[in-house]
Amino acid sequence: MARKKIVVALGGNAILTDDPSAQGQKAALQSTAQQLVALVQRGDDLVITHGNGPQVGNLLLQNLAADSADNPAFELDSLVAMTQGSIGYWLQNAMRNELNQLRLDKVVSTLVTQVLVDRDDPAFQDPSKPIGPYYTEDQAQAKMAQSSAIFKEDAGRGWRKVVASPTPLAINEIETIRKLVDDQHIVIASGGGGIPVVQGHDRTFHGVEAVVDKDEASQSLASALEADLFLVLTGVDHVYINFNKEDQERLDQVSYAELEKHMADGQFAAGSMQPKVQACMDFVKANPNSQAVITSLDNLENFLNGGSGTLIQYEAKEFLEA
């Protein structure tokens, strides 16, 4: 089997289960690593991305709880960088431990990754990504009066700070990542969607208060690397249409055009399956000779051994083995 370049986007369940402690997350990542080494055993080149939603939220709460003139809370871009480091460290060690058990001599490298966004992206004019704790309306109004922060009501559960979610334009460290992959390193990069930065007129980069969608950032990385396979691991084995209805239908093999129609019909939930499907559509459109797969971490071994997940190609031609 020819060696393939694979970008794996890990869902939250690959890192955080019921135990939010560092030890609990390390244990979850050890189980994740046991599944991912199957790709290495096949001889594939592997780049791993991951989310950081719960982790950056917890870190934000810790910063706010200790915030003072002598110990000021860090800004969001720095918190994303810190979670890239901590999760990358845990996953890097977990992967290395599994590789050592199998006597596979591979280097695992974690790269703190910045993602370029446009300072004029419309998302900055309409922040929509909730972060941090819930507040009452009065508390939120008071905070908005004291700062430039924006708070919005969140699904009847209270008011939360919202930040922009701009479109990723480029991965700043892409050449470094490409070189590491060419040297057959396993690379962990673009954690949490990457650290969002804008470029000034003097060509300097500056972090911004924003969150880049992790699935779209992952596909941006996969496209830049011209990956053969973009593998999105989430909580379900397949993508479905008419989900949880009597006529629910599992999608095993699906083209861009078919997904485009399902997207227009509102088949995929915003904030859940929709961004994953959209990221896969964007990837195969940009890389029509490559494939994308959406499945669960638990189903990965079955999929690799000829089982099913949702396999996505740009054209509805003969579907190739992933």
- Active-site residues, by number, are 12-13, 129, 214, 276
Q: Give the up-direction half-sphere exposure of residue 270: CA atoms within 13 A in the CB hemisphere.
A: 5
Residues 6+ apart with CB under 8 A from 121: 164, 166, 167
Closest to 208 in 3D by CA, of 160, 165, 173, 174: 165
103: left (phi over 0), alpha (psi -120 to 50) or beta: left
For the chain, the 3-state helix, strand and coil shares in percent, each to the nearest 5, are: 40, 25, 40
Question: Which residues on adjacent β-strands are paired with residue 239?
Answer: 251
Task: Give the separation between CA 212 and CA 168, rounded to whole angstroms.
Answer: 7
CA distances from 52 to 10, 215, 262 (A): 10, 12, 28
Residue matched to tokens 């990221």: 279
Task: Give the separation between CA 140 and CA 152, rounded to whole angstroms.
Answer: 8
The answer to whether 319 and 262 are in contact (CB under 8 A) is no
Burial of 156 (0-12, 13-18, 19+ CB in 10 A): exposed
Alpha-carbon torsion 14, 17, 21, 27, what sign? negative
Residues 6+ apart with CB under 8 A from 125: none
The secondary structure of residue 115, as a DSSP letter, is E
